[in-house]
Amino acid sequence: MTWVTGGNQKDWTFHYHPKHPPLSLELEAAFNVLGLFGFDTCPAFAFNSCNWRYYDFVAGDDDDPWNQGNAEPVQTWSSSSMTYTGSRRVIA
């Protein structure tokens, strides 16, 4: 997961790379369903190929308990996405 800022944009970008390239057709199909894009020269993996997806940063409002933004859910998703043994075996 990387934090990207530029101009008025802030977002998190998640990069995934197969531990044993090339990416299988099944995993590629799953990534497509999940909305991940392919990138041939990914800086997160020594300019090898990866798949990625970004999530816009949404700021919360300290005065509104129902509007806490999306920082916590995105970081929770990031840490939990690699806790499953199957995920750790096929992607980095």
Number of domains in the chain: 1
What are φ and ψ of residue 38, in 5° steps? -85, 150
Is-contact 25 33, C-beta < 8 A?
no
| Domain coverage including residue 75 | 2-90
Q: What is the pLDDT of residue 39?
A: 92
Per-residue pLDDT of the chain (92 residues), as tens digits, is 788 888 788 898 888 888 888 888 998 898 899 889 999 999 889 999 999 988 888 888 777 767 778 877 777 766 666 555 455 555 65
Q: What is the pLDDT of residue 72?
A: 78
Q: Which regions of 7-56 does DSSP assign to beta strands (E)?
A: 9-16, 37-42, 48-56
pTM of the model: 0.68
The torsion defined by the Cα of 8, 50, 71 and 34, in degrees rounded to 10, comes to: 110
